């Protein structure tokens, strides 16, 4: 099913690109169609990014597990790269969530689309939940996420505080728990992006069919007005 979610939008883009007769007679329709196709292409790109982030986080998880087995062999550079990577992915995912919440919100206002408004809310909710993971861990350690300019800086502070108070293994376990949560959030983001794209594509297809039918009906009316049928002889 997930594969179909990824493939269908691209099939729709190809179909719309070859079926533009209604756009020639409806400027507003053409603008809306262009906006929707742009949304489809943008979210497909974001979905690929989310999938890539999920893979990277799983690789980080393997590194964390190895560190827990042999904490005395941890190299500072390796730890810094790991925390920086996790932090950057967390920030990138939140950027995607915020960006698409804004895209959907603007589209909802411009075209009065309840569907886009619903997805805007869902992206906002996802972003909040993703941010809460790190925030909760920091509060438990007596820290505040807002005190740090980036997720990477916050993770480093959390590591230092956890290591000093609980030891290296416990600090690694804390990072591992955050990373596991982030893997789940990233999968949810990918699924949300795919669901959003499928819903947008389906909506676009139905709008295209409706607008095409309206154009054809108007063309028939214009044809009739330009070439009315002759009145039968003897009738008034």
Whole-number Å distance between alpha carbons of 101 and 119: 7
Render pLDDT for 127-147 as a digit per residue (tens, 0 to 9): 999 999 999 999 999 999 999
User: Among the ranges 20-24, 96-100, 216-220, which has the highest mean pLDDT value?
Assistant: 96-100
Both tokens of residue 59? 């690789």
Give this prediction's pTM: 0.77
Three-class secondary structure of residue 217 per DSSP? helix
User: Is 3's pLDDT higher than 60?
Assistant: no
Split at pLDDT 50, 70, 90, the class of 213 is low
Average pLDDT over residues 139-157: 96
20 or 123, greater pLDDT: 123
Q: How many CB atoms lie within 10 A of CB 56?
A: 16
Write down the pLDDT at residue 21: 45
Closest CA to 16 of 203, 191, 214: 203
Render pLDDT for 61-89 as a digit per residue (tens, 0 to 9): 999 999 999 988 889 899 999 999 999 99
Both tokens of residue 107? 């589209």
Can you list the positions of beta strands (E) in 37-196?
Answer: none
User: Is 41's pLDDT higher than 90?
Assistant: no
Dihedral sign from CA coordinates of 99, 100, 103, 108: negative
Split at pLDDT 50, 70, 90, the class of 115 is confident
Dihedral sign from CA coordinates of 15, 193, 113, 99: negative
21 or 224, greater pLDDT: 224
Split at pLDDT 50, 70, 90, the class of 223 is confident
Both tokens of residue 186? 């990233």
Q: What separation in angstroms does the CA of 199 have from each of 61, 104, 194, 228?
A: 33, 12, 9, 43
Three-class secondary structure of residue 97 per DSSP? helix
SS3 of 119-131: the string is HHHHHHHHHHHHH
Q: What separation in angstroms does the CA of 135 have from each of 74, 94, 101, 125?
A: 26, 14, 21, 15
Q: How many CB atoms lie within 10 A of CB 104?
A: 25
- Number of C-alpha atoms within 13 angstroms, CB side, residue 173? 7
């Amino acid at each position: 099913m997930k594969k179909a979610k990824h493939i269908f939008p691209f099939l729709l883009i190809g179909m719309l690109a070859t079926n533009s007769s209604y756009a020639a007679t409806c400027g507003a329709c053409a603008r809306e169609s262009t906006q929707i196709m742009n949304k489809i292409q943008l979210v497909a790109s974001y979905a690929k990014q989310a999938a890539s982030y999920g893979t990277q986080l799983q690789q980080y998880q393997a590194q964390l597990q190895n560190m827990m087995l042999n904490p005395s062999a941890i190299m500072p550079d390796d730890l810094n790269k790991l925390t920086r990577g996790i932090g950057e992915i967390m920030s990138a995912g939140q950027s995607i969530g915020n960006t698409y919440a804004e895209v959907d919100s603007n589209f909802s206002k411009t075209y009065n689309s309840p569907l886009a408004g619903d997805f805007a809310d869902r992206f906002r909710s996802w972003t909040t939940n993703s941010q809460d993971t790190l925030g909760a861990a920091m509060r438990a350690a007596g820290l505040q996420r807002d005190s740090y300019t980036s997720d990477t800086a916050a993770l480093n502070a959390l590591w230092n505080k956890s290591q000093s108070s609980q030891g290296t293994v416990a600090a690694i376990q804390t990072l591992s728990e955050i990373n596991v949560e982030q893997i789940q959030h990233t999968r949810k983001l990918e699924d949300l992006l795919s669901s959003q794209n499928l819903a947008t594509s389906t909506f676009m297809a139905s709008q295209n069919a409706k607008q095409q039918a309206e154009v054809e009906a108007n063309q028939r009316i214009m044809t009739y007005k330009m070439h009315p049928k002759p009145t039968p002889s003897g009738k008034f």
